[in-house]
């Protein structure tokens, strides 16, 4: 049964009872993330890569770059595209085959945060104005699913972009004046202007929790994700499920998300250090 997370009535009542007493199944407080681990450079053959674990949820991201044509309406801008694959070994609720609604939504939300935040400096991707640009492919694979794929995909994609190196090149001109691109053996970092980080909330009854695990997601009434840029501006949101949030609940969630994304971003910055070690958020 694809994209369906079934929770027994006993489990549902247990989770709700814990929440009513201010507790969660894994001992966290309501506004706390699980342990986060980020390992950059996990796929040596990619231009950039990272593997991210949030608790038992695991996502790997790879960045590939190829030379192509710009869009006609943006001749002086590179292209960034995002895909997500829900690998069947990650969860029994995933099936092989064409992308399903969940994978499409994850890709769109991850892409929106990167695009709307102006994360990648698209001008720096131009090789020959109006003719050749770098096309950046961000490919995400969910390897283990225990909830909150939105934030796991976001962090993995951003970490892979921060790890990415593009080949240096030079423009060569033939006798007829036609320009072509010659790639060099040296590389340079992909230019990023902002680092978007997301924080996802689940609402179960009257309770709102950060970073819901799979069982919590199975009984949530509503879900919302906020992505923030470095300067504190919201760059993307996504609402899910049929329930609603009050204005006060949204305001409180935005305040919490602002702080949590700052904490995650400050540690994402560390992976750019030459001798950085994989970071793990303390539980």
Residue 187, helix vs strand vs coil:
strand
CB under 8 Å to 11, separation ≥6 — which residues? 215, 218, 219
> What is the end-to-end Cα distance of the chain in Å, rounded?
33
Residue 262 to residue 214: CA distance in whole angstroms: 24
Residue 147, helix vs strand vs coil:
coil
Per the structure block, which two tokens stand in for 239? Answer: 């609402």
Residue 62, helix vs strand vs coil:
strand
**pLDDT tens per residue, range 209-229:** 999 999 999 999 999 999 999
Residue 78 CB coordination number (10 Å) = 23
Q: Is the pLDDT of residue 188 over 50?
A: yes
Per the structure block, which two tokens stand in for 15? Answer: 């989770």
Residue 30 to residue 53: CA distance in whole angstroms: 19
Q: What is the pLDDT of residue 280?
A: 45
Closest Cα to residue 63, out of 79, 76, 77? Answer: 79
Q: Where are the domains of the chain?
A: 32-280
Architecture of domain 32-280: 2-Layer Sandwich (3.30)
Report pTM: 0.91
Q: Is the pLDDT of residue 54 over 90?
A: yes
Helix (H) / strand (E) element for 20: namely helix 9-20
Q: What is the pLDDT of residue 5?
A: 63
Sign of CA dihedral 62, 64, 70, 74: positive
**pLDDT tens per residue, range 65-112:** 999 999 999 999 999 999 999 988 777 677 666 668 889 999 999 999
């Amino acid at each position: 049964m694809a994209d369906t997370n079934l929770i027994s009535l006993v489990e549902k009542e247990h989770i709700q009872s814990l929440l009513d007493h201010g507790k969660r199944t894994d001992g966290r407080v309501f506004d706390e993330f699980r342990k986060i681990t980020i390992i950059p450079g996990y796929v040596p053959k990619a231009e950039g890569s990272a593997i991210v674990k949030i608790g038992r949820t695991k996502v790997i991201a790879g960045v590939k770059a190829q030379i192509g044509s710009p869009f006609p309406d943006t001749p002086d801008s590179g292209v960034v595209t995002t895909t997500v694959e829900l690998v069947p070994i990650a969860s029994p609720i995933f099936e092989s085959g064409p992308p399903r609604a969940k994978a499409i939504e994850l890709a769109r939300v991850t892409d929106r945060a990167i695009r709307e935040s102006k994360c990648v400096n698209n001008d720096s991707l131009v090789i020959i104005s109006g003719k050749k640009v770098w096309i950046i492919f961000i490919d995400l694979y969910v390897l283990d699913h225990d909830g909150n794929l939105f934030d796991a995909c976001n962090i993995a994609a951003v970490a892979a972009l921060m790890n990415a190196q593009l080949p240096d090149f030079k423009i060569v001109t033939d006798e007829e004046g036609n320009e072509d691109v010659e790639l060099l053996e040296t590389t340079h970092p992909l230019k990023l202007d902002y680092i978007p980080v997301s924080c996802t909330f689940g609402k179960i009854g009257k309770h709102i929790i950060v970073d819901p695990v799979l069982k919590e997601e199975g009984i949530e009434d509503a879900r919302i994700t906020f992505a923030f840029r470095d300067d504190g501006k919201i760059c993307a949101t996504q609402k899910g499920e049929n329930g609603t949030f009050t204005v006060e609940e949204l305001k409180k969630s935005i305040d919490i998300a602002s702080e949590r994304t700052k904490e995650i971003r400050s540690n994402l910055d560390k992976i750019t250090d030459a001798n950085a070690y994989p970071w793990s958020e303390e539980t």
